[in-house]
Structures are given as C-alpha cells and as structure tokens.
Structure 1
Amino acid sequence: MRMKIREIASGLQFPEGPIAMDDGSVVLVEIARGTLTRITPDGKVSVVADLGGGPNGAAIGPDGAVYICNNGGFNYTTESDGCFRPISQANDYSGGRIERVNLNTGKFDRLYDTVEGLGLRGPNDIVFDAHGGFYFSDLGKARHSDMDRGGIYYGTTHGALASVIARPVMTPNGIALSPDGQTLYYAETEGARVWAFDVTGAGQVHKEGWPSPQGARMIAASPGGLYQRFDSMAVDALGNVCVATLMHGGITIISPDGKLQSHVSLPDRFTTNLCFGGPDNRTVFVTLSGSGKLIAIEDWPVPGLTLNYPA
C-alpha cells in the first residue's frame, strides 16, 4: 500500500491513546510524562492535564470528557538503537485506575480503582458503546520475577458500577467494538492474538466453554510470526481490526473473521496505537512511542469507523 506519511510532532514521552478532535488537533497521552496532551495540526504541544502515574488509553465519553486508563507507571530503558520502551512496573507505581478529565479545565477525578473487590493493576485501553458505558482492558503489571494476569471490564461514567467481563486474562491490551456493536475485540500482547466476544447487552457477553481460556473466540494468532506483539487497535468502517504491532513495527489489518491479514510497516518497533480522523475519516493518526512521535497516514484505503462519541 502506497502511503503518504506526515510527521506531526516529535520529542513526546511515549505517546499513546490518540483521539482525533474535530478542530484538527489530536489529544493523546504521554505515558512516561504522566500527562494528557494536545497537539495542534502545526505540531504545537501543550499539556491538558498532569495526571501522574501512567495514563495509557483514552476515549471521549458521552459528556465530552476524556476517560483515561491509568496504568500506574512504568520503569523505562533506552535500547542501543535509541528505542525508548517500558520494562517493568514503576518503582513509584501509584496503582491502576480509571480517570475522567475535563478538557476545558484540565481537572480530573478518579472513577474506579477496584472492580468487584480486586484492585486494578494496569488499565490499558478503553472503548465506549452506544449505551454510554465503556469496556476497558487491564494488562496487569510485570516486575523483575513475576507478572499479573489482567482482565476485561465494563464501567459507567457515573462511577457507581463496574463489572467483570472476563478475569483472569493474559496481557489484554487494545479493545474495540465492531460497527454494529455486537462484537467486542481485544488484543493479547504476549501471544499476538486477537480475541472476540459476542455482545448480548450493555456490559454483557456470551462466553465460549473450554478450551477457551477466558470465554472468547480467537480471531487471529501471531500472523507475523516470531517476536511479534500486539498493542492497541481501531476498527475501520468495513469492520476490519487494525492492530498496532510491536517489534515488527506497524499496523496489522485483520478481517472480522480472521481469514484475511495484511501488514503496513512503519519505522518504529513500538508502534503502539492509532485512531481515524481527518476528511472522510481516512487519515490514520499513529503513535510511534519508541521514537516519541505522532504521525499521520493520509488517504487510508478504507475510512475509519465513526465512534459512538466522536470528538
């Protein structure tokens, strides 16, 4: 696929969670900086909110606020080729939580830090459904000699209810809904697999029996082979799942049934997230986290899915 790539900003501190705004700007998180950040089309960078910890996934809710998955923070290293990447739970880890940010004032509050009696460890990505609730993933945290198993959850914007969709789950990362809202997808980082649940109601899914490890059905398994890892995702208007791909560096495009797969290579082994925006939803904004950049890929062949609560 021939692409027109434009660099919008550089010098970002592990950017993730991009949201294309209707004024042409992109709101994203800088995980290592601990901020929600706005980037204008001319590349100007400004802080919207200083959240601390490790703000990770982000989405606009029905009230116009930005809802943040905060993973509590990482320790980082820089590889010999300059790739900046997380390696473990932060020494000053502040706990996982879901936060709500007022875009106009930068003020934020905490909605959840536990679900059904267990503390959140590393909330990662978030998507809103048409009912005004949201699904979110908790990747867990890795330490020197052990790691957590995470989960998939459902929450509401008033903070009074959060429920378990599936738990425990191995390294759940990106999360998205199909165009009709009837399928919930998530990406498993370590196995580079995409899984799906059939949605039966708001915060309700059908679960498969054994041998499914968590009740989901597998759509794709490590299509790129050795060393590949999956990160966050977006869905296009045809229902294809577009997954930011680590190590191979780029975007893996998987059809809803998993039978068709392709890969768009990008110059960063830590290509972590993407969103659609721009004219006709055919611009893909991508976070290249290892090099600290936000780029735009213009004239994407399939327009992106319009979110339930676009910016």
Structure 2
Amino acid sequence: MIDCIWPVATTLGEGPVWDAQARRLWFVDIKGGRLHSLTPETGARESFEIGGNPSFALPSDQGGLVIGNRDRLLHWRRDAVTELARIPGMVATDRTNDATVDAAGRLWFGTMDDLESTPTGQVRVYDGGTITEAGAAAIVTNGPAISGDGRTLYHVDSLARTIWRFDIRGGATTLFGGVPFRTFSGDEGLPDGVVVDAQDHLWVGFWAGGCARRFAPDGTLVTEVRLPCANVTKLALGGPDLRTAYVTTARAGLSAAELAAQPLAGGLFSFRVEVPGRVLPPVRVG
C-alpha cells in the first residue's frame, strides 16, 4: 500500500536519508532551498530555510548534517552553519546533486550541469579534508550508491538512461573499469536516485516514469511500485526495522494540467518492503 505521508509539495524533492540515531528522515527540496525532516514515531515535521540549492543532507560524525549546496559543502546545525569546503573545478552553472557515504565515512557525491546541457558533472569524494575528482563525467549525475562489501559503486547517468557499475575496492577514489549495469528505454523514464538494500539489490526512482523499481545485482528487474505522480526521485529505507521505503517526488517539469491530475506530486510517500535497508555511516568531517 502506497501512502502519501506528507503532501509537502516540493518543487524538487530529493535525497531522503534515514538518520538511525535520531530516528528521523531527512530530505531536501533542491529548487525550493529547504531541508525537511519527519519523525515517524511522533509524526513531527520540521522545515528549514537553507537557501541556494541544497541537494543532499547526510548525518555527520560531529553532529548535525553535511549538506551539498551549489559549489560547496556545508556543516549544518540548528544553531549554526559553517562551510566545510568549496568544491574545486566547477563551472558557474554546476551544482551538487546526490550523495552517499562509504564505510570509512568518506562522502561520495555527484555534481551536474544545472542547465542540463553540458557534461560538466562527475563523481567526487570528500575525505574530511580534501575533495578528489573520481570521474564518470555526465550532464546529470545521480546516486552514487555503494554495495554492502564496499567494492562496487553504482553511478547513474540520468540523461543517458544508464546505471554504471565501477570497482572501488582497496579504498580507491578514482573510478575505473566502468561497465553498464542497466540501460533503459525512453518509455521507462529516466533513472534518478538509487539506494542499495541489505541484499545488494538496487532501488531506483524513475523521473517521468511514475515508479520505483528494484533490481537484482545482475540487473534483473525484481519489483516495480507505481506512485500517483510522474517524477519519482529517490528512496530511503528506514524506520525501526529499516523496512519502510520513504520516497521523494517532484512537481518540477509538470504542466498545469499535469499538476491538476497529480495533486500529490512533490509529496513524501511510503510503502513497506520485505528486505531491509542499511544505515549509512556518518560523514567524517574532521
């Protein structure tokens, strides 16, 4: 059963992540410049004005969150926001997009061309002190996501409709040996955010596809869950048993007629899954 648990009407809802310590879900509205949180146990909802284009918000090992915003990484706390790093090598129209964390606490994040026309985006790594360019050039990056054993990184080249698989064993920060995990046809929508569950299956949101799909490690489609809006961006697997899927969606790109037909577009949805997710380690910031 699919429930809209918060009709928050984000312009571009993205980056849901389960904060196991706080028992809270965080997500962002990239185009709305906001950070949102939901505490399922109490139903408490909070929204924070961040400004700019916050694209991910992940728990930090120093408390608070690490937020990607345009050309910088921020350390956000309720009472203060500090700049962790400026991201080198970005052009004026670039911004951060999606992100994940590996077992060592390194932040793997994508950048993209906000005009969606030039392949200036790529995957980068923040190790608490420096930012390294890892590669995988694309116009719009999504993911990345990392396998449970830490050896494989999945990178989504959304406009090329392709999910790539890279080998990152041995602590590598450069992506080598990329092979396509799966490529999608035009009528399937664009692959967007991706998360890996406890069986190393990939849950992928589909922009203009109206669904979330789960794929086995060999690329086989296992499950498809339809949602009542076209632009499905990303899932997080959370809750006490990590078996609740929280799904962000977007109103961006929809016409007035489409918005009228999709009144819950931009809402936060949930449904139950059989296989739990994994808790991401906190980002190492110092």
TM-score, normalization by structure 1: 0.78
Q: CA deviation at 1:113?
A: 3.0
Residue 148 and residue 127 in structure 1: after superposition, are their counterparts in 2 closer, same or farther (change >3 A)? Answer: same
SS in 1 for 2:218: coil
Match of 2:75 in 1: 100
Residues 13 and 33 in structure 1, CA contact (< 8 A), matched pair in contact too? yes
Match of 1:80 in 2: none
Give the counterpart letter for 1:67 in structure 2: V
Residue 142 and residue 113 in structure 1: after superposition, are their counterparts in 2 closer, same or farther (change >3 A)? Answer: same
Residues 58 and 125 in structure 1, CA contact (< 8 A), matched pair in contact too? no
**Aligned mate of 1:195, from 164, 169, 173:** 164
Residues 8 and 268 in structure 2, CA contact (< 8 A), matched pair in contact too? no
Residues 277 and 284 in structure 1, CA contact (< 8 A), matched pair in contact too? yes
2:222 is aligned with 1:275: no
SS in 2 for 1:201: helix
Give the counterpart letter for 1:293 in structure 2: G
Match of 1:81 in 2: none
Q: CA deviation at 1:255?
A: 1.6
Give the counterpart letter for 1:129 in structure 2: D
Match of 1:17 in 2: 15
TM-score, normalization by structure 2: 0.84
Between the aligned partners of 2:243 and 2:35, the Cα distance in structure 1 is 24
Q: 4+ residue runs of structure 1 moved beyond 6 angstroms?
A: none
SS in 1 for 2:241: helix
Between the aligned partners of 2:239 and 2:38, the Cα distance in structure 1 is 14
- Number of aligned residue pairs: 266
Between the aligned partners of 1:203 and 1:66, the Cα distance in structure 2 is 25
Q: CA deviation at 1:164?
A: 0.8
2:125 is aligned with 1:154: yes
Match of 1:175 in 2: 144
Q: CA deviation at 1:268?
A: 1.3
2:60 is aligned with 1:61: yes
Q: CA deviation at 1:270?
A: 1.0
Q: CA deviation at 1:167?
A: 5.1
Q: Deviations over 1:51-108 (max 9, x none)?
A: 21111122223333312222x4xxxxxxxxxxxxxxxxxxxxxxx3222212x42x22
Q: CA deviation at 1:45?
A: 3.1
Between the aligned partners of 2:242 and 2:119, the Cα distance in structure 1 is 37
Q: Which gives a bigger RCO, structure 1 or 2 (Cα 8 Å, sep 6+)?
A: 2
**Root-mean-square deviation (Å):** 2.3
1:36-185 alignment to 2 at 5 Å?
Answer: 36-41=35-40, 43-48=43-48, 50-70=49-69, 72=70, 96-102=71-77, 104-105=78-79, 107-115=80-88, 117-119=89-91, 121-142=94-115, 146-157=117-128, 160-166=129-135, 168-185=137-154
Consecutive unaligned residues in structure 2, runs of 5 or more: 252-264
SS in 2 for 1:7: strand
SS in 2 for 1:53: coil
Percent identity over the alignment?
A: 27
Between the aligned partners of 2:86 and 2:26, the Cα distance in structure 1 is 23
Q: CA deviation at 1:148?
A: 4.4
Consecutive unaligned residues in structure 1, runs of 5 or more: 73-95, 209-215
SS in 1 for 2:113: coil
Q: Deviations over 1:190-243 (max 9, x none)?
A: 1221111111333424512xxxxxxx2110000x54361011111110001111
Q: CA deviation at 1:183?
A: 0.6
Give the counterpart letter for 2:166 in structure 1: F
